Amino acid sequence: MDRLGKILEWCKSDRVRPPAYSEKTRASLKRCNKRHALKHPDRFEARKARFKIPVQPCEVCGSEDNIHRHHHNYSKPDDVIFLCKAHHAEMHKWDSN
């Protein structure tokens, strides 16, 4: 299965992270999430936290242009993946099926 396929699988399962996610990224996202979750209501922080995550190259092709954040679950702000414009569009195409 190709890269995009794996990410789509992750999105559908809502359990496992995409294989492209590094341990380091995962740890820092977790820390950030935890710290803010203690203080504030979920919704507000979910919205805020995603803007603190630095933009990363597309999970599928590694492009750094036109990067979009794709959220699978807004109650879990660290569940964000980065996709270029093209792959983001593709993701939503699959998602709506």
State the nearest-atom distance from the C-beta of 87 to Zn ion, in Å.
Answer: 4
* Contact yes or no for 66/77 (Cβ under 8 A): no
Residue 37 tokens read as 């979750």
The number of beta carbons lying within 10 Å of the beta carbon of residue 67 is 18
> Whose CA is closest to 50, among 10, 92, 79, 26?
79
For Zn ion, which is the closer residue by CB, 20 or 60? 60
The DSSP call for residue 80 is E
Q: Which stretch binds Zn ion (CB under 5 A): 3-11, 14-22, 44-52, 82-90?
A: 82-90
State the nearest-atom distance from the C-beta of 60 to Zn ion, in Å.
Answer: 4
Residue 15 tokens read as 């359990």
Per rule CB under 5 A, is residue 87 in the interface with Zn ion? Answer: yes
Instruction: Show contacts with Zn ion in window 6-65 (CB under 5 A).
Output: 58, 60-61, 63
Q: Which stretch binds Zn ion (CB under 5 A): 20-28, 31-39, 46-54, 85-93?
A: 85-93
